[in-house]
Each structure stands twice: as structure tokens, then as C-alpha cells.
Amino acid sequence: MVLSNSPGPETLTELVDRLRPPASGRCGRGCRRRQHRRVTVPLKASRPVPVEPLRGKPVIDINNYYPDLDVHIAELDDESTTVTEALVSLLRPAAGPSAGVARGKALNNLYVTHRATLPRPAGHSERSVLPIAGDDAEAKQAETDFLDSIGYDA
């Protein structure tokens, strides 16, 4: 796991140390080498997301829309678009039409504190199943493999 934020990688040292493993570093130029990305920023903060590292890579959207905690977005309030479609509209123009942005949806239906307590080994009778969705078979397989590696079926 490599982390990134808007203030910069130097501000993530304490978090990375606390998460290690699976966190292995802070995102800087090394993020460009990663093959799989997750966008986990509030929608109101999506506009400054650097899109160049996303070019041609599948991006898994794990956002949910919480207007009481975020900002009201008219297109989401009137249900004329989805969270993932809104994210694509923010990221794709800057990344270009061939950018593989927001090609899937996963991990948005599990409360963050449960992610650490519910994982089970493969084959366990109480292993949780998390839904995924997407339009790219390779991205969905990568997400399935990732979920398996952290203790969930897809």
C-alpha cells in the first residue's frame, strides 16, 4: 500500500509507521509505477487530485456521497449522475480520453473500522463477501485479488 495526500508525502510518516504493514511507503514519484489505484478523497476535494499518475491505469472508486459531511452536488442530489460518474467527469478531462479512470467500484459498502476486524482467511465459514463493479475485466480481477489478499471474497 502506498499513500498519497494533498499536503505531501512528508505529512504521512506517522500514518505509514502505524499502518506498516501493509503500508510500505509514502507516495511521491513512486506512485507512477503502481498498477492499481483507489480514489478515497471526499468529492469536494476531488478537483485537485493529480491526474497524470492515473493515466492509463484502472482507478477503483471507493467514495460515497455524504452531503451532510461533504458539499451538496446538484447532479448527485437530483440523481442525474452517480458518484463514480461524477468522479470520472472530474478526472477524465485532465487525464485524457484514454485514461483508465474510475473503472470500478469497491470497498465503499464496508465501514472503515470493520475493515480491520472482519477479514478472514480464504475458505473460512464467516468470510465476508464484498461487491465490486466495473467495466474492465482486468481491473475487476485485480480488485478481486486485492480483496482476497486482505481477507475478503468478492
Largest alpha-carbon pair distance within the chain? 45
C-alpha cell at 54: 492515473
Adjacency order of strands within the sheet including 37-39: 37-39, 59-61, 104-106, 132-134
At 68 the pLDDT is 83
Q: Which residue has the higher pLDDT, 95 or 75?
A: 75
- Kindly state the average pLDDT of the residues 74-92: 82
Q: CA 154 to CA 68: how far, in whole Å?
A: 30
Nearest Cα residue to 118 out of 4, 75, 110, 6: 110
C-alpha cell at 125: 465459514
C-alpha cell at 44: 469536494
Question: Per residue in 5-53, pLDDT tens?
Answer: 767 777 877 877 776 665 555 555 445 555 556 666 667 666 666 667 6
Give me the amino acid identity at 20.
R
At 97 the pLDDT is 53
β-strand partners of 59:
37
